[in-house]
Amino acid sequence: MGILSILIFLPLLFGAIILMMPKSLAAYFKYITVAVSLVQLVIASWLYYQFKTGEAFAGVDQLAQYQWVEKLDWIRLNVGSFGTLQIDYLLGVDGFSIALVWLSALVMLIASLSSWEIKANLKGYFALFLLLDTAIIGVFCSLDLFLFYIFYELMLLPLYFLIGMWGGVRREYAAIKFFLYTLFGSIFMLLVIAGLYLSVINPETGNHTFNMVTAMNPANYSVGSIFSALANQQIFGFSARSVGFIVVFIAFAIKVPVFPFHTWLPDAHVEAPTPISIILAGILLKVGGYGIIRIAYGIFPDVAISMSFWIGLLGVISIIYGAMNALAQRDLKRLIAYSSVSHMGFVLLGLASLTAEGVSGAMMQMISHGFLSVMLFFIVGVIYNRVQDRDIYNFRGLASKMPIFTGFVMIAFFASLGLPGFSAFIAEAFSLIGAFSSQSLNGLLPRWMAMVAALGILLGAGYFLWTLQRMFFGTLRLKKDDWSEKLKDINFREVITLTPLAILALVLGIMPSIVFDVINASVNQFLTLFK
């Protein structure tokens, strides 16, 4: 039993245990969940520490260079039409996945600590939470397209129930919208996966395979198959490879989310309970980014190069559109949701530039946004838990009532807008450098994209600082008088949750090599796909 399998299935085991425990022990469920998340974080940290860096361990399209690989024959189904359907249970991590696995473990721990506020129906909540945990780590570790798809879809069902049962006022609408939207993207991705299966041949065994890594090498495609680069088949009059790339890109673009596929995000984030918003913003959006890197760009690099301009354009539009929407919001949670859209636009821009700086910046932004958005949503949760209201104009001068809390808010806001010294600055700076130098390095993105995106940083400063001033500074004035007693300063559990995130943001801002050293080899190997 490999270490990655243990990491993935440990929460599932404890979820089953929680289901079987009697209701009388409901008080212990939250401790079990926190314990499981803590164990996962320890394992993930150990894996990250032991991760070998260097050119020999780059991974991406070299299966031998992946680490902690596990391979089991899983399904051998004789279906007549094309012989035997072969699906393997294949896990492995490279630079891109290990960073995101570690981020997921951290975010799940924070979310489980935040879940202590859930009061109703604890058994169902924690069982679904742990199932979600399994699915998320599984997505990042799987190297077989079919296994990836199963974990990817497995994430959706617990989220539907978690949002729909424990969420806010319009939770049913938000839950079904999220589910339908994401399923729409992924059902067409299933068709592309089936097509890839029929096109890709394992060079060692001569059979068709779902292996992601094998699919990245154009030499492995059988002659005349639907996605073979040489055969140039057509679907609906368009090149089959372009259609495949666009379908897969849209499936993941819905998750990132990229304008114009982002409309599910404000509803889902706002209506979800705080811990689920944390998971949504912290990890789920990164699944989209990871999918674009690993599958869309990895398997269809030729199409990616030709579409770079449009992807970069979508990234820039997301940045500006998300930021302008955030400026217009009254609801604090909705503002942070739109700021997520804006920040993930930087990921897309950095990726589209296809330069080492750009891709590294995109990865760094994913990790940095991972814990900064967690901090931001947790902060909203702190206020909402106390007074059940999130409207910015109902609060004024909270700094005098909750000073320690305001300190954390300041760190979170300044870090998110890209203050140098914090991780988001490194991430955004590198993405912009990559986008800016793309015109001279590979001619893919024009310079004006980076310049317009930089405006997004300015807008970010705008809405964050304005919110800080509106809600926290000045004299204390609240909408209702009884709020004054309810708004106590943050307690020990909340401090424990927020402090490590703040420290991480600072540490990564001063020593980004912690991340860059690990992903560097993989980024360089990734870029060789595009030569």
Q: Report the C-alpha gap between 472 and 411 in whole angstroms.
A: 13
Candidates 42, 64, 176, 495; binder of another protein (CB under 8 A) is 176
Min separation Cβ 61 and another protein, Å: 24
Q: Does 236 bind another protein (CB under 8 A)?
A: yes
- According to the binding rule CB under 8 A, does residue 125 interact with another protein? no
Closer residue to another protein, CB minimum distance, 80 or 443: 80
Q: Which of 3, 21, 39, 165 binds another protein (CB under 8 A)?
A: 165
Would you say 488 and 440 are in contact if contact means Cβ atoms under 8 Å apart?
no
Between 92 and 164, whose beta carbon lies closer to another protein? 164
Write the DSSP string, 10-41.
HHHHHHHHHHHS-GGGGGGHHHHHHHHHHHHH
Do residues 133 and 41 lie in contact, with contact meaning Cβ atoms separated by under 8 Å?
Answer: no
419 part of the interface to another protein, by CB under 8 A: no
Question: H/E/C letters for each residue in 47-78?
Answer: HHHHCCCCHHHCCCCCHHHCEEEEEEEEEEEE
CA distance 138 to 116: 25
CA 488 – CA 42 distance, rounded (Å): 33
User: How far apart are the C-alpha atoms of 486 and 514, rounded to whole Å?
Assistant: 41
Interface size with another protein, residues (CB under 8 A): 40
Q: Based on the shown chain and the rule CB under 8 A, indicate whether residue 13 belongs to the binding site for another protein.
A: no
Q: What is the rounded CA–CA span in Å between residue 174 and residue 168?
A: 9
476 counts as binding another protein under rule CB under 8 A: no
Would you say 170 or 330 has its CB closer to another protein? 170
Q: How far is the CB of 349 from another protein (least distance, A)?
A: 30
Count of residues making up the chain: 531
Residue 219 CA to residue 4 CA, distance in Å, equals 29
Among 66, 160, 264, 516, binds another protein (CB under 8 A): 160
Of 271 and 357, which has the nearer Cβ to another protein?
Answer: 271
Question: Hey, which residues between 57 and 76 contact another protein (CB under 8 A)?
Answer: 75-76
Nearer to another protein, 39 or 157 (CB): 157
- Which one of 21, 39, 190, 510 is in contact with another protein (CB under 8 A)? 190
Q: Counting contacts by CB under 8 A, is residue 238 touching another protein?
A: no
Distance CA 516, CA 521 (A): 9
CA distance 428 to 348: 11
> CB of 212: closest distance to another protein in angstroms?
17
Query: Is residue 156 close enough to count as binding another protein by CB under 8 A?
Result: yes
Chosen residue from 15, 195, 345, 358 binding another protein by CB under 8 A: 195
Contact criterion met (CB below 8 Å) for 361 and 430: yes
Rule CB under 8 A: which residues touch another protein? 75-82, 85, 149-150, 153-154, 156-157, 160-161, 164-165, 171-172, 176, 179-180, 183-184, 187-188, 190-191, 194-195, 197-198, 226, 233-236, 240
